[in-house]
């Protein structure tokens, strides 16, 4: 698609810019929403914040752009859903549960 902008007035360019920005925000919001729907409240998740070790906790709430996770140490984090990994409980020897972190698949 080609859009000729050379003949647009300043007012038309500003309006076009506003429409483009709004559309990009909408697309980003939809992408974030789709990422969030990969996780459910109550689910065990992990994430790796910069400068800290891996954090493991429970997803407790969806926010507009993030999810709220309460870590095993009781800290509350608002995390972008693309940073999360699911933690799957796995039966180990002796029927004791342990947590195994599912690593993301490389795209």
Say what the pLDDT of residue 24 is.
97
Give the pLDDT confidence of 3-25 residue by residue, as tens digits. 889 999 999 999 999 999 999 99
Three-state SS for 29?
A: helix
Say what the pLDDT of residue 107 is.
46
Q: Does domain 10-101 have CATH number 2.30.30.140?
A: yes
Give the pLDDT confidence of 51-102 residue by residue, as tens digits. 989 999 999 999 988 999 999 999 999 999 999 999 987 665 555 555 666 6
Say what the pLDDT of residue 101 is.
61
Tokens of 103: 């690593």
Say what the pLDDT of residue 105 is.
58
Q: Write b or e for each residue in 18-57: b if 16 or more Cβ atoms lie within 10 A of its Cβ, otherwise e.
A: eeeeeeeeeeeeeebeeebeebeeebbbbbeeeeeeebbb
């Amino acid at each position: 698609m080609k859009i000729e902008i050379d003949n647009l007035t300043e007012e038309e360019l500003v309006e076009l810019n506003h429409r483009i920005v709004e559309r990009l925000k909408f697309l980003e919001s939809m992408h974030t929403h789709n990422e969030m729907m990969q996780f459910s409240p109550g689910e065990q998740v992990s994430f790796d914040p910069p400068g800290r070790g891996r954090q493991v906790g429970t997803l407790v709430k969806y926010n507009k752009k993030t999810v709220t996770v309460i870590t095993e140490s009781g800290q509350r984090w608002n995390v972008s859903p693309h940073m999360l990994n699911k933690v799957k409980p796995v039966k180990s020897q002796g029927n004791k549960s342990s947590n195994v972190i599912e690593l993301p698949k490389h795209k």
